[in-house]
Structure 1
Amino acid sequence: MLNHSDAAVDFPIPYKLYFGDTLVVGNEMIEWGPLAPVNENTRPILVTDISQSRAEMALVGNYSDTIYIDIMAGGNV
């Protein structure tokens, strides 16, 4: 949920987060491979599916969320 920067404002805005074309689900691993040692190995992170009507009803201000990314070596290291 995107939350207003003023904690007193209780009006979260739902959204979906994608890593490339994979929907990110909280606390679930997403395998990214195979990686190439000579390439940049980039993939977009996208915030989508924000309801226009919900956003229009929201109070003016900054809305944000925090994501954490853990990078772990695979089994073939």
Structure 2
Amino acid sequence: MDAPPFCENKSLYRVICLEHIKKEQAIREAVFSAQMEGLRVTAETERRIRKILDGELTVEERVQQLKSNARKRTC
């Protein structure tokens, strides 16, 4: 986890690396949890998890999308 030679702020680099590692661990835990519940986890599912963790999509927005899709299928 040493900063590359061109990186001026070595402590900031380490913090960014640690945050990335934490995020990847959270993604792995979410995928594992879903699989333990018997859910199928695809690459698309993992992308959605990443969007939620990145703040691009809230959990509430995703729930609304799922409800909307379910309504469309029943109509």
**TM range, normalised to the smaller chain?**
under 0.3
TM-score between the two structures when normalised by the length of structure 1? 0.26
Q: Which has the higher contact order (CA 8 A, sep 6+)?
A: 1
- The structure richer in helix per residue is 2
TM-score between the two structures when normalised by the length of structure 2? 0.26
